[in-house]
Amino acid sequence: GFAAGGNFDVVARIMAQWLSDHLGQAVIVENRPGASSNLAAEAAVRAPADGYTLLLGGAVNTINATLSEKLAFNFSNDLAPVAGLVRFPNVMTVNASFPATTVPEFIAYAKANPAKLNQGSSGRGTTQHLAGELFKMMTGVTFVHVAYRGAAPALTDLLSGQVQVLFEPLPPSIEHIKAGSLRGLAVTTAARSPALPDLPTVGEFVPGYEVSGWNGILAPKNTPIDIIEKLNVVINAGLADPKLKTRLADLGATTLPGSATDFGKTISDETQKWARVIRTANIKAE
């Protein structure tokens, strides 16, 4: 469900090679971007439930469950969770010249300057957009959302000061933060990122706040449980492998080991969280 070359695609290829090596048969990654990952999910829903077609699903699918009103499938009911893979932090980032240097200072500035701030994102309904909406809901601040067609133009406008804050993924932001052209205020995950260990989490100042880009493997509903369990064991072995874990960490990812049930709970929790945010903020699909 993701375009070639992005971090999720790289994760898919790393895991496909691991599965090929440990299942004794070729595992091929087929990129089917489009319709906010709905095309790939629908193809997986309609595939035979024999374990030979798997979906790399992610946070976007749990958002689409509420945002996309005319889906021909139910992501939670028509697919079976197999295993979580990785979680990527977003970074709450401002221009280096922005007056606030911490999350509390940002909140105070935003409250003193209501509706004068703009949040850029890589598109309406993305985790980056909703990270800002959740932040507003939990802190009482206001800022205007500006949707771009992708992360690159949003980052460009943050660097030039056209927008004041992003909640964008770590990889595109980290070099600018290290160079000092952007200031990272906090990561959005529950735990600090090993890639920027000195950066606090938003949750350290806004208790309960947590947003991440995550993904995992799902299979068509009614895939035999023994197949799901076998895949889960092999995937978790990969997530525990030191070399593979290092390759994932180099992307800025942390692993999501656990049972199929654990991954199913993640999907359920995320679906409910984003449904609340989307309905409260009255967000409509583009």
Q: What domains are there in the chain, each with its CATH number?
A: 7-87+213-280 (3.40.190.150), 88-204 (3.40.190.10)
- Percentage of the chain surpassing pLDDT 90? 73
Among 26-30, 84-88, 259-263, which is the least confidently predicted range? Answer: 26-30
Confidence of residue 68 (pLDDT cuts 50, 70, 90): confident
Among 66-70, 144-148, 219-223, 247-251, which is the least confidently predicted range? Answer: 66-70
Residue 192 has, within 13 A of its CA and on its CB side, a CA count of 11
Confidence of residue 33 (pLDDT cuts 50, 70, 90): low
pTM here is 0.89
pLDDT computed for residue 4 by the predictor: 54
pLDDT computed for residue 2 by the predictor: 54
pLDDT, mean over the chain: 91
